[in-house]
Amino acid sequence: MTEGPRIAIDAMGGDVGPEVMVAGAASALADYPDLRFRFFGDETAIRAELAKHKSLADAAEVHHTDGVVAGDAKPSQVIRRSKDSSMGLAIQAVKAGEADAALSGGNTGALMAMAKLALRTMEGIDRPAISALLPTLGENDVVMLDLGANTECDSENLVQFAVMGAAYARIALDIQRPRTALLNIGSEDMKGTEELRDAAAQLRAATELPLEFTGFIEADRLSRGHVDVVATDGFSGNIAIKSVEGTARFVADLIRRAFTSSLRSKAGFMLSRPAANLLKRTLDPNNHNGGVLLGLNGLVVKSHGSADANGVRNAIDLTYKMASADITRRIADDLANFPKQAIEDAAE
């Protein structure tokens, strides 16, 4: 059997560490038997977990390191001190060509800083971005970026985010021309900052790109399923996604409280359990786990720190798809075909 993507895993990242990272890998291997893993971290702890999953015996390597990036570590400190950490070595494996992707559930800021330093930003991209999938009422999830890497962005950054997000959507969502929008305070053309309006003009002019630019979208429409990609600056994107996640938890807690308030409501819960389970699955972040760091010369994926084994398995599933389809090359090809003269005309 031909070997598939090789994934370097920071086994020590996240709230639980090797237990869920190894279990998630074993679950993913059942669906993708060609996967190969390189685990970085405490060898004793990793091998203890591998012993529980015999299927990984021929598909996993273990590389010991004592260094671990703390959840509250500052990116500036990590860059200087943590190259030999489990996170740093996983990224270095991608740089050295020993792995096709790196996966970590650790400190997001540290992961981005170390990945950017080691892999560098790809040609044609000024700044990398953090992207993720959000659930919607439509037929598919929506790709959203940037979610925190860049607090301030100009129009060129926003256009590049849209291009990268569309490439992501074509792979993850299997949509040939993803409907792409810019997050704004209104849907009207005159709304928003000058940077947003300039980015919109450039995207409208870029008719040769493999995406359908639909204009602006407001935050309350993110989950309606009307678009496939939403591009924004990292400040707005981070606030938006945390608001969505907070609302999801609020709704889930409110429903749970309502169904346990009396004997009658508990009886009603028994009748509506299938609907409640569907809601739970839709809102569970483990079912949408995996934030891809787009715009680097290599593939790096961030897992939720609180992810369980199923969440890690879903992050590996996404990593497998991105690596197999060579997301970096897809983005490079789109940028190479970018109609620069049309963009210059739109900016005048």
In contact, 143 and 131? CB cutoff 8 Å: yes
Q: Cβ(85)–Cβ(106) under 8 Å?
A: no
pLDDT tens, position by position, 215-225: 999 998 988 99
Domains 1-119 and 122-292+326-348 in one fold = yes
CA of residue 211 relative to chain centroid, distance: 20
Spatial separation of the C-alpha atoms in residues 313 and 232, rounded to whole Å: 28
Nearest to 8 by CA among 21, 19, 20, 17: 21
**DSSP β-ladder status, 142-145 and 60-64:** unpaired
> pTM (2 decimals)?
0.88
Low-confidence ranges of the chain (pLDDT < 70): 1-2, 258-259, 261-285, 338-348
Confidence (pLDDT) at 276: 54
- In this structure, which CATH number among 3.40.50.1170, 3.40.718.10, 3.50.50.60, 3.40.50.720 belongs to the domain 1-119? 3.40.718.10
Q: Are 215 and 200 in contact (CB under 8 A)?
A: yes
List the domain boundaries for the chain: 1-119, 122-292+326-348
Q: Give the pLDDT confidence score for residue 341 in this predicted structure.
A: 45
Q: What is the pLDDT of residue 311?
A: 93
Give the three-state DSSP class for 66.
coil
| Percent of the chain that is helix, strand, coil (3-state, to 5) | 50, 15, 35
Query: How does pLDDT run across 227-256, given as a tens digit for each residue?
Result: 999 999 999 999 998 888 787 778 777 777
Rounded to whole angstroms, the Cα distance separating 165 from 348 reads 26
Predicted pLDDT at 270: 58
For 122-292+326-348, which CATH superfamily applies? Isopropylmalate Dehydrogenase (3.40.718.10)
Residue 110 in contact with residue 82, Cβ under 8 Å?
yes
